[in-house]
Amino acid sequence: MKPDASLTIALAKGRILDEALPVLAGAGIFPTQDPGTTRKLILATNLPHVRIIIVRATDVPTYVAYGAADLGIAGKDVLMEYNNNVVYEPLDLGIARCRMVLAGPKRTLQPVHGRLRVATKYVNTTRDYFAGQGRQVEIIRLYGSMELAPVLGLADYIVDLMDTGNTLKANGLVPLETIAEISSRVIVNKAAMKMKHDQIQPLLDKMALWKKGK
C-alpha cells in the first residue's frame, strides 16, 4: 500500500496565529489564503500535500489526538488542561508566552463562603495545582471574563493567563502565585509520527531551526 503522503496541520485563529505563521514559513509552508481573514476552515498551502485547518484554540489537541490533524500548534495551558499523554509534544516554539497565575484582590480577604472559591476555565489544572499542595478549594468553572468573579464575590480567587498584567490590574487584581510558564508547542498525533515520519520529522527539524535562528 502506498503510504499516505498528505499532512494536515491544525492552527487556531487568535493570538497564536500571528506567531505561528512565521514558524510555518520557516518550515517552507505558506497558506494560499490569509488564515486570519478568510472564512474558510481548510486552507491549501504552497505544498500540494500539506493543508491547514483552522479550529478553536482549545480544540487543537482534540483534532490531533484523534488523527483528524497530523500535527498542530497549541498553548501549553490548553495542553495541560486537555491531558498530557495523548499526543506527542516534540517542540516548544517559545511563542505566545504568558504565565498562568492565581490572582486575587490586593487585600487578602477572609473567605466568605467557608472554603476558598477559585473561578477558572482551567478546572483540571487548577484542581491538580491545589491538590498537589494539599489545599482544599472549591473550583467554579467559567468560560471567560474570569476577572469579574472576585469583584462580584462569586469567587475569592481566579486562575487565568497573564501577559502584561494590565487586565488583572484594570480589575483590581494582583498575581499571587505562578502556576505555570506558558508558551506554544508543536503537537503530533502518535500514529502519524510513526506512519508519516518521513514527512513530519523534516518539518520538526525545520521548525526547531527556525526557533534557534529567532
Residues forming contacts to ligand PRT in the complex (CB under 6 A) are 14-16, 56-58, 75, 77-78, 96, 98, 160-167, 182, 184
Beta carbon nearer to ligand PRT, 110 or 166: 166
> Between 50 and 146, whose beta carbon lies closer to ligand PRT?
146
Q: Which of 91, 77, 88, 153 is nearest to 119 (CA)?
A: 153
CA 12 to chain centre: 9
Q: Which is nearer to ligand PRT, 105 or 165 (CB)?
A: 165
Residues 6 or more apart whose Cβ sits within 8 Å of residue 110: none
Q: Residues 58, 64, 69, 75: is their CA dihedral positive or negative? A: positive
Residue of 158, 179, 153 lying closest to 168 (CA atoms)? 158
Residue 208, CA distances (Å) to 1, 3, 92, 205 in order: 31, 25, 9, 5
Instruction: Output 29 or 182, the one with its CB closest to ligand PRT.
Output: 182
In the block, cell 482551567 appears at: 122
At its nearest, how many Å lie between ligand PRT and the CB of residue 93? Answer: 11
Helices (H) and strands (E) in the chain, counts: 8, 9
